[in-house]
Structure 1
Amino acid sequence: MVGKRANVSESLRALGVAVGLLIAGLAVSVVFGVVFTVPLVLFGPAVGSPGGFLVLAAAGQLAFLAVGYLYVRRHEGVRVRWPTRRDVRYMVGGLVVTLVAALGLSVLFASLGLAPEGSVFEDPITADPRVALGLAALSVVLVAPAEELLFRGAIQGRLRRSFGPAVAIALSSLVFGSIHLLNFTGSVVGALTGVAVVTVGGVVFGTIYERTGNLLVPIVTHGSYNALLLVATFLTV
């Protein structure tokens, strides 16, 4: 009985840490957004301009990077090394699986009339298609490292200790998907289908991290996936 209570307590603690890290990431993101907005207002570019949009996007990701780094440095540590040939195979395979899954789900949801109506990126990219290229570069150098450090390195790492890798991947992917909810515009159902696509991507990233033990693998896969989609958007605008 005592052992069972201890297990329940540990599981609840792990879930609490995961939720706490998410809330901390969002809270620090708001703070960073305010801090970065001040120089934009004072010195430009305008907050609503393409340049301002990229600056504020970077601010949010810097917040995730800071929270993830501070946590893993103190509690978890992360496994990062120069990729082996096996790691590269997982990078390529993970990228292909993510692209196929995203395309398949997007086609399915569109055929059912459930696809997201749009995203918060559409207006800035329409105003200046080069924003897509800026976001692609940002994805490679900041977005993927920040999100993988927080969601795979910190959150998945903590959940793994209490639940094992499979449950940790599932739960961290749900958390990962949830933070993208406000990226989508239109109906709630459409936004949720967009979140579902992101969550599946999170499952792929989490799986290849567990299989390789190298955080650089999902970072490269995630960054490449985002960059490919954004470059394709630039070419078709």
Structure 2
Amino acid sequence: MSETPSEPVNQILRVASAAFAVVFALFVASAVTAPASEFAVSVGLVSEGTTGLQVLRTLLQFAGFLAAVVGYLAITDQWELVPVSQLTLRDIGLVLGGGVALFAFQYGALFVLGEVGLTTGQNQAVVPDGDPVTYYLVMVAVSLLVVGPVEEALFRGVVQGGLRRAFDAAPAVLIASAVFGLVHLPSVSGTPGQRWAYVAVVVVLGSVLGVLYEHTENVVVPGLAHGVYNAVIYVVLLAQSL
């Protein structure tokens, strides 16, 4: 008869499992994105330095993330970590309110940082390779339908959900959000201080999403709230580019 691990051991195992899930997702995404995008260029589906290639790489990256999430859940038989249920009117309100609140917090944080002479780095995902209008329009849809839901399935479902099996809500939310922020670091340009300021903002944004997941036990809610937040950012960039 197997023994139940002690609480400290269980916590270590859950943190290690969460870290493995993220590393696994990054590995699969990298393994899918580079060769598939190179193949698309080689056969003339898209061209280097174009909006089409940039969007394709994003879609391939998140297809890799999704494949890793499904693979992890299948291997560990923990499908319940990513609960999906139909949205209620209350959930829809939380999605819209959460998305707007995330956007408002980001700009509030940028304002406060600016007042003390600090700035954050720039995520390269918002820098278009080709036509900015087309890119921002497409990314509104991609954010809502792909980026938000897939990232939340990974970070709130697999990571936070797994951590909740060994931790209370607050540490599980904070650890998952810290991992979420750190994963963004390589894609942020700027000085070291600017890049870490960006990560700090993302950690807080992730914590809000974590609370939504904890409160609703439905990964669709933070997934769509995240998508709304990203989409609003692209709408603002689109308006500025016109």
**Same fold judged by TM-score > 0.5?**
yes
The equivalences for 1:71-90 within 5 A come to 71-73=72-74, 74-77=77-80, 78-90=82-94
Counterpart residue identity of residue 55, structure 1: L
Pick the aligned partner of 1:232 from 214, 236, 240. 236
Counterpart residue identity of residue 105, structure 1: A
Cα distance in 2, alignment partners of residues 122 and 172 from structure 1: 24
Give the match for residue 206 of structure 2: 202
Give the match for residue 161 of structure 1: 165
Is the deviation greater in 34-43 or in 131-140? 34-43
Give the match for residue 34 of structure 1: 34
Give the match for residue 130 of structure 1: 134
Whether 1:70 aligns to 2:71 is yes
Give 1:22 shift.
1.2
Give 1:37 shift.
2.1
Give 1:113 shift.
3.1
Give 1:29 shift.
1.3
- Change in 2 beyond 3 A, CA 1:41/1:125: closer
- Change in 2 beyond 3 A, CA 1:67/1:94: same
Cα distance in 2, alignment partners of residues 34 and 233 from structure 1: 27
* Larger relative helix fraction: 1
Pick the aligned partner of 2:223 from 215, 219, 224. 219
Give the match for residue 116 of structure 1: 120
Conserved 8 A contact 1:36-1:55? no
Cα distance in 2, alignment partners of residues 58 and 114 from structure 1: 33
Conserved 8 A contact 1:25-1:67? yes
Question: CA offsets, 1:35-79, max 9 Å, x none?
Answer: 212322312312322111111111111111111222234224222
Cα distance in 2, alignment partners of residues 189 and 113 from structure 1: 12
Segments of structure 2 that go 5 or more residues without pairing to the other structure are none
- Change in 2 beyond 3 A, CA 1:27/1:85: same
Pick the aligned partner of 2:195 from 191, 198, 203. 191
Cα distance in 1, alignment partners of residues 63 and 5 from structure 2: 38
Cα distance in 2, alignment partners of residues 195 and 9 from structure 1: 29
Conserved 8 A contact 1:69-1:149? no
The aligned length equals 235
Cα distance in 2, alignment partners of residues 17 and 159 from structure 1: 9
Give 1:229 shift.
0.7
Segments of structure 1 that go 5 or more residues without pairing to the other structure are none
Give the match for residue 51 of structure 2: 50
Give 1:4 shift.
11
Given the two structures, how large is their TM-score scaled by the length of structure 1? 0.91
Give the match for residue 18 of structure 1: 18
Conserved 8 A contact 1:37-1:47? no
- Change in 2 beyond 3 A, CA 1:180/1:163: same
Conserved 8 A contact 1:125-1:132? no
Question: CA offsets, 1:151-190, max 9 Å, x none?
Answer: 1110111000000222111111111111111232110110
